[in-house]
Amino acid sequence: MVRKKVKLAFIENNTERRVSYRKRQKRFLTKARELNTLCDVELATFVNSPYHNEHEVFPNHEAATGIFTKFIDLPEEKKSKDMKTLEKTRKDNHEKDREN
């Protein structure tokens, strides 16, 4: 089933924009939970809302702090081993396009 192309535009109505944001945030956190469960990976998210003073943390504040601290304490070569920057992704995609 093919979806229609979504027209990306700024939502002028503040209420509609807030509702849209809440839906996207809820879907994002659902995907984070699914990745955490299905792929058995350590995952932490921090979402700062423009509409609320409180921020959303997954799985919880203590666990997220532990995961972030563990990542920060890793040596640089381990951090960057599997990490991809936007430039590296573009370069890899460009090389794939050349091969095809």
Mean pLDDT computed over every residue of the chain: 89
Question: What's the pLDDT tens digit per position in 2-34?
Answer: 888 888 899 999 999 999 999 999 999 999 999
Fold of 14-99: SRF-like (3.40.1810)
Domain locations along the chain:
14-99
At 34, which amino acid appears? E
Q: What is the pTM of this model?
A: 0.68
45, 57 Cβ separation under 8 angstroms: yes
8 A C-beta contact, residue 47 and residue 56? yes
Looking up tokens 């839906």 gives 23
